[in-house]
């Protein structure tokens, strides 16, 4: 899949260098590589990056789940600290979450709602790419 992403991104970069619109790039790549190979959102996002002189086509490192997991290390960690795992019942989880949310006052919820606009603006400005809060 990574190899395919790289090929599509190279094609999008080429389309950008030719000055093609998002629609032209979408149509050209799907005609060459097969219908549905690239979607509108991907074309818009990458052409926008290229127009802003962000010419790198590889993914940046970001926080998240690692692609490969050392299973032995995970098993050892779970066995060493069983209380730190998610091996809890649904009812225990429900009680814990209820207790957490009940402990919050109205201002806590109000601040969270008001921050949503700011956070979504950051998502838009970063073209959906990962960023630190």
Distance from C-alpha of 126 to C-alpha of 57, rounded to nearest angstrom: 15
- Among residues 62, 81, 77, which one has the least CA distance to residue 133? 62
Q: Which residue has the higher pLDDT, 1 or 16?
A: 16
Kindly state the DSSP code that residue 53 receives in the 8-state scheme.
Answer: T
Average pLDDT for the chain: 84
Kindly report, residue by residue over 65-96, the tens digit of the pLDDT: 666 777 888 788 878 877 766 667 778 888 88
Instruction: Convert 81-104 to b/e letters by CB count within 10 Å (16 or more is b).
Output: eeeeeeeeeeeeeeeeeeeeeeee
What is the per-residue DSSP string for 80-91? H-GGGSS---HH
pLDDT at position 1: 38
Kindly report, residue by residue over 88-121, the tens digit of the pLDDT: 777 888 888 889 889 999 999 999 898 888 888 8
What does pTM read for this prediction? 0.47
Confidence of residue 131 (pLDDT cuts 50, 70, 90): low
């Amino acid at each position: 899949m990574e190899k395919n992403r790289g090929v599509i991104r190279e094609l999008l970069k080429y389309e950008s260098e030719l000055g093609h619109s998002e629609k032209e790039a979408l149509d050209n790549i799907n005609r060459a590589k097969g219908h549905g190979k690239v979607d509108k959102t991907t074309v818009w996002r990458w052409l926008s990056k290229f127009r802003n002189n962000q010419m790198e086509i590889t993914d940046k490192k970001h926080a998240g789940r690692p692609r490969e997991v050392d299973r032995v290390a995970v098993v050892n960690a779970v066995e060493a600290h069983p209380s730190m795992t998610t091996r809890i019942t649904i009812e225990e989880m429900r009680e814990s979450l209820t207790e957490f949310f009940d402990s919050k006052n109205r201002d806590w919820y109000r601040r969270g709602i008001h921050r949503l606009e700011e956070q979504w603006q950051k998502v838009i400005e970063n073209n959906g790419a990962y960023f630190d809060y």
